[in-house]
Copies of this chain bind each other. A is one copy, B any other.
Amino acid sequence: MASTARYHHGDLHATLLQEANRLLNEQGIEGLSLRKLAERAGVSRTAPYHHFKDKNALLCALATQAFGQLDEMIQRQLERGAKENIQDFVREYLRYATEHPEQYELMFGRTLWKSGQPSDELKAVAYRSFRHYAEGLGRLLQGRLPANTDPLRVAQASWATIHGLCRLVIDGIYVNRVDMEAVSEQAVALIMAALKPAKND
A7 at the interface (CB under 8 A from B): no
The verdict on A114 contacting B186 (CB below 8 Å), with A157-B165, A167-B164, A194-B194 known, is no
Interface string of A170-201 (1 = CB under 8 A from B): 11111100010011111101110110000000
**Copies of the polypeptide in the assembly:** 2
Bound together, the chains give a CA A37 to CA B45 distance in angstroms of 30
The verdict on A114 contacting B172 (CB below 8 Å), with A186-B154, A190-B194 known, is yes
Min CB distance A122 to B, Å, is: 11
Taking a contact as CB atoms under 8 Å apart, the answer to whether B114 and A110 are in contact is no
A146 at the interface (CB under 8 A from B): yes
Min CB distance A67 to B, Å, is: 11
B residues in contact with A113, CB < 8 Å: 171-173
The verdict on A160 contacting B187 (CB below 8 Å), with A115-B28, A171-B113 known, is yes
A109 at the interface (CB under 8 A from B): yes
B residues in contact with A163, CB < 8 Å: 164, 167-168
The verdict on A126 contacting B164 (CB below 8 Å), with A115-B28, A186-B153, A190-B194 known, is no
Bound together, the chains give a CA A187 to CA B114 distance in angstroms of 26
B residues in contact with A52, CB < 8 Å: none
Taking a contact as CB atoms under 8 Å apart, the answer to whether A160 and B175 are in contact is yes
User: Which residues of A line the B interface, CB within 8 A?
Assistant: 28, 30, 105, 108-110, 113-115, 126-127, 130, 146, 148-150, 153-154, 156-157, 159-168, 170-175, 179, 182-187, 189-191, 193-194
